[in-house]
Structure 1
């Protein structure tokens, strides 16, 4: 069957929408296709939006490193330290479900003697990942973990426990931005925009805000921590009908 000019153009618009969805890193949130009989002239616009959120959750990695002449002894020492850390943070209200032991390793320490590598002992290390929901006690949690045996501290990383409302706010702003751009382009061409034919988004989401690794001297006292605000962003591509 021969294709009319309108059919070809509608097919190209549909193909463009599908191609945008297939781009690496893009997550489709919604696609709306034009019904039969809709005018084929279109304008495509991108938009970005952001929302700010006060963090209500923090994660911190509490590391333990031990050494011994025996591999099992080094591992046992690290395990006991992890248990002490978990017990200490639980006393400050951290739930068991928010404590996770990870990155366990044991490896030999060696030195060179008479041209040969000789094992002199063993080093064991692990980390205890802790999620703190009571932000007011974050400094206390870090200090208590340090006192219980944590000798490296990474984080904290700040985030929000439920980012959905902020993502929706950022998405709404991004769509408004795309509409504003499309209206400006259409006006410059002596046209106006109509219905939305398709849209796609790449969900950037929440970027956890980290602090630099803390020195042990800083962790010896309750650490004052200011989490600031998080930026939650969204990007969209929208295809509008031209009138």
Structure 2
């Protein structure tokens, strides 16, 4: 009988102990474990690289504007002139795959007038204007003056821009070269800064590359009338290319350690 009472007492104690351990967790388990602070040491450095590059692409944008009483007449007149222009620049050495249409617009032209009786201003349709703009992209940089002169002499009455730039292939080549130099420049700066501190680079944590910096093309704007265009036959248009400054940066976070 006593043994049964002893077993019952022990069982009750165990049940109470288990219940308390569930309801009231121990102090050690209740405490939030604070993560061990990181001892990783880093240095952030921005490297730069720049160079001058000779352009290998010539871009020209020019066109023909015509105005007639009807849209059909304006388009026909424009098309006739533009066909002459295309033939002329092809004769100057430009191939058809170097020519593309930038825009073709047809829009009405109105003139404003004031009614004598009411004094109100009204608009009257006086015709239609057609504007056809061509782009020429070529690696024949020396033909810039010939292209402009031929185009204007054959009917072009607006020249929007002429500039020299980098072709996509050369752009990529220069970009890859400069990015590598910028990263090496960042590493060199970090090593020079760490040397007197008796630290050295042991790894790389982060790298951020900037966009390739190339100055916007400097277009030469011009407007011509037909009389000026004919006069240009005896005086070639002077057009010169120049080297372009290009640059890039790379920010590198190095992991460092003591010597």
Q: How many residues align?
A: 211
In structure 2, runs of 5+ residues without a counterpart are 1-32, 116-120
Aligned to 2:140: 134
Distance 2:70 2:204 in 1: 68
Backbone CA RMSD of aligned residues: 2.3
Equivalent residues in 2 for 1:1-243, closer than 5 Å: 3-6=35-38, 40-113=40-113, 114=115, 115-161=121-167, 162-187=170-195, 189-216=197-224, 217=228, 220=232, 221-243=235-257
CA–CA separation in structure 1 for the residues paired with 2:87 and 2:202:
61
Deviations 1:81-119 (A, max 9, x none): 222222211222222121111222122221223232111
CA contact (8 A) 1:56 1:159 kept: yes
Give the Cα separation in 2 of the matches to 1:210 and 1:83: 29
- Structure with the higher helix share, 1 or 2: 2
Alpha-carbon shift at residue 2 of structure 1 (Å):
6.2
TM-score by length of 2: 0.73
Secondary structure, counterpart of 2:210 in structure 1: strand
Q: Deviations over 1:9-37 (max 9, x none)?
A: 7xxxxxxxxxxxxxxxxxxxxxxxxxxxx
Long gaps (5+) in structure 1: 10-39
Shift of 1:215: 4.4
Q: How far off its partner does 1:240 sit?
A: 0.9
Q: Is the 8 A contact 1:94 1:131 kept in 2?
A: no
The structure with the largest alpha-carbon Rg is: 2
> Using the alignment, how far apart are the partners of 1:193 and 1:92 within structure 2?
59
TM-score by length of 1: 0.77
Give me the whole-angstrom Cα distance separating, in 2, the residues matched to 1:120 and 1:83.
Answer: 26
What is the alpha-carbon distance in structure 2 between the residues aligned to residue 227 and residue 71 of structure 1? 40
Q: Tell me the distance in 1 between the aligned counterparts of 2:82 and 2:72.
A: 15
Contact map agreement 2:110 2:123 (CA 8 A) in 1: yes
Pairwise CA distance, 1:233: 1.5
> What is the deviation of 1:188?
5.4
Task: Provide the secondary structure at the position in 2 that maps to 1:123.
Answer: strand
SS of 1:164's equivalent in the other structure is helix
